[in-house]
Amino acid sequence: MNEKSQKPKSKKLKGIEGLTHTVISRQGTTLSQRPPLNIRLLACLLIVICGAVLIVHWPALSAEALSFDDDQYLTKNILVQNPSWTSAKRFLTEVLEPSTVGGYYQPLAMISLMADCALGGRADYLRPFHRTSLALHIANTALVIVLLYLLFPVPSVAAAVGLLFGLHPLTADPVCWVGERKTLLAAFCVLWSLVLYVQYARKSDWKLYLGSMVMYLLALMSKPTSVPLPVMFLLMDYWPLGRLKLRAVLEKLPLFAIAVVSALITYISQNRTCIAVLPGEFGPARIPLILCHNIVLYLCKVILPVNLSLHYAFPEPFAFSNPIVLRGLVGTCILILFLLVSLRWTPAFLISWLFFFIAMLPTMQIISFSNVIAAGKYAYLPSIGLLFLLAYLLTWFCYAADIGRPVARAAAVVVFVLVLASAEAIATRRYIVHWRDSITLQKSMLAVEPDSVLLNNNLGILLAARENYDEAITHFRRALRSNPRDAKAHNNIAMSLKSQGRLSQAIGHFTEAVRIEPDFALAHYNLADTFFQQADFAKAVAHYKSALRIQPHFPGAHTKLAFSLEASGEYDQAVKYYTQALRNEPESTGIMNNLAWLIATHNKADFYDPKRAIDLAERACELTKYQAPSLMDTLAAAYAAAGNFTQAVRTAEKAVKLSVSAGKEKMADQIKARLKLYQAKQPFFIDD
């Protein structure tokens, strides 16, 4: 080979394919071998861009909104709220059936949220969570820039594309959404894995390969949507790394084995704790329609991020007759045709899009796990594929010898990036405002989908919690207009009507809810409560029992059922359910008090048991430090039933004093009447 043939290709190759040769000629150059000037420039650009991302996303630190599933990830997650090694161990070891979050195995994400709780994070103080999430997003932006510089060694281009990633409005949701820590953490691990893999491809150092594999495992433990990473490696091997050979395929086999295991764990855990509907249950046409719809939707939101939302419902009807569905099909066909034609010039368009598509595939609802067809958060990591294409085109434009003068080209790139970045920054700032509080967030989603049953229900619940019942009822009625057979909307509107004292109307909606959905335990429970409030104990008992039949451990149902049975005079059944309720709530002094009173004052019943009554009443009094007059009254009755009148008199006298001190004169008079019996050595019994 002569000396001339050994010289690297010129930077100024004509045509778009020229860049591929330029990159290939530099494959042996690692980051540490780049010219010092480039490394220093890259470091300076990293600092500037990370600072810009921090400034633009800064208002996210003050966001107070909670969104879908945040109850599982924070507000109702006992393990997250109580940081400890025991909690961390449970997150790590509950592989096939997580106990505190419905869905897949994601221990690192949960431990990360738990750590923020240890730093002071609470449902009413979200700043520690947002602080960590923003730090992860900034780190991800830096990793994107490093990855692009490794692939397309132009510091300014890598930094420019990284800036557009960091400021994009689609990145706001993962930063502001507590439950989406998993997205940021998984992306952080995946980006590290990609960086290490590119270095491995250049240096063939197996330590880098193992490092990449470890980061892949950590990504899967953060969010298993990272499963397709080995396929993404193969795509990069083809372009831009140019090393796709048999060896490159074989070295991915361990990664594919890990992917298969993770996919199985994910499906099993999702199916056991939440929902996982296989494709065959919807018919063969549904999956292609979903893919076509989402391909167009996500590309549109990435390119033109307007009308963004956390929630994109399935178009109704989901068929060709719907223009939205038809648009997805036509748009996808045009896109595929363009990608195939582009192969005449470069594989960049096809491989970049395939990277995006493969990374998006786990969230495309092929296996249904959600009631939405799409969500902006799912594009966070897959967008890296589109960044490859943008970096490629900008690098080619900078190197092209036949497109104007170099200075003019550089100026054009600077203007292009600054205009886009400015537009993104403004859009991101405006979008973050929606995260100010939960009601504002729900209203912003409703602005995109005003007829959504789920969103109207959610907003109504938030308004009702603030006692804004009229506006809440308006949204519940809007949900019912969209779907008159939505049992949850009937239950929700009934709860608001009940809070306004409109009990007969509330009963009508509760009744409709259980007619539509007979196994709706909460509606049965709420209906029973309403009947109890009307003193219709027979109907209350029937619906409490229905709630327990459907959900045997329904919180509070045993206690309420026992109340109703006692009010109905069915004392033996009341004792049975009080006993069960006490097993569920062993520290409940109210349940102890009621049960002790029944078994101490009904001497003709089979359940009459003064000794047990004393034990229960004494335990309840200990828990309240002998300062509750009603509990002292019950303890006195139990002592009297057991024949210990000295203790009964002493306890009843203290109960009288406590009642008078609390301003409960009527209770004091009732206890005084019983005190006279005890002084006469007579117990207080209720005749059956």
The whole model's pTM is what?
0.84
Residues contacting residue 213 through CB under 8 Å, at least 6 positions apart: 193, 254, 255, 258
pLDDT range class, residue 33, cuts 50, 70, 90: low
What's the pLDDT at 2? Answer: 42
> For residues 178 and 80, is the Cβ–Cβ distance under 8 A?
no
pLDDT one-digit tens code per residue, 6-28: 444 434 334 444 544 444 344 44
CB atoms within 10 A of CB 258: 17
Phi, psi of 372 (to 5 degrees): -110, 155
**Burial zone of 600 (CB within 10 Å; 0-12 exposed, 13-18 middle, 19+ buried):** buried
Summarize the confidence of residues 642-651 as an average pLDDT: 96
pLDDT one-digit tens code per residue, 511-522: 999 999 999 999
79: tokens are 């393990």
pLDDT one-digit tens code per residue, 194-214: 999 999 999 989 999 999 999
Judged against a pLDDT cut of 50, whether residue 482 lies above it is answered with yes
DSSP conformational letter for 9:
P
- Delimit the domains of the chain by residue range: 35-431, 605-688
Q: What is the DSSP string of 375-428?
A: -GGGGTTTHHHHHHHHHHHHHHHHH-SSSS-HHHHHHHHHHHHHHHHHHHHHHH
Of 138, 119, 127, 136, the residue nearest 62 (C-alpha): 127
Architecture of domain 605-688: Alpha Horseshoe (1.25)
> For residues 377 and 310, is the Cβ–Cβ distance under 8 A?
yes
pLDDT one-digit tens code per residue, 582-600: 999 999 999 999 999 999 9
Summarize the confidence of residues 175-190 as an average pLDDT: 97
What's the pLDDT at 477? Answer: 97
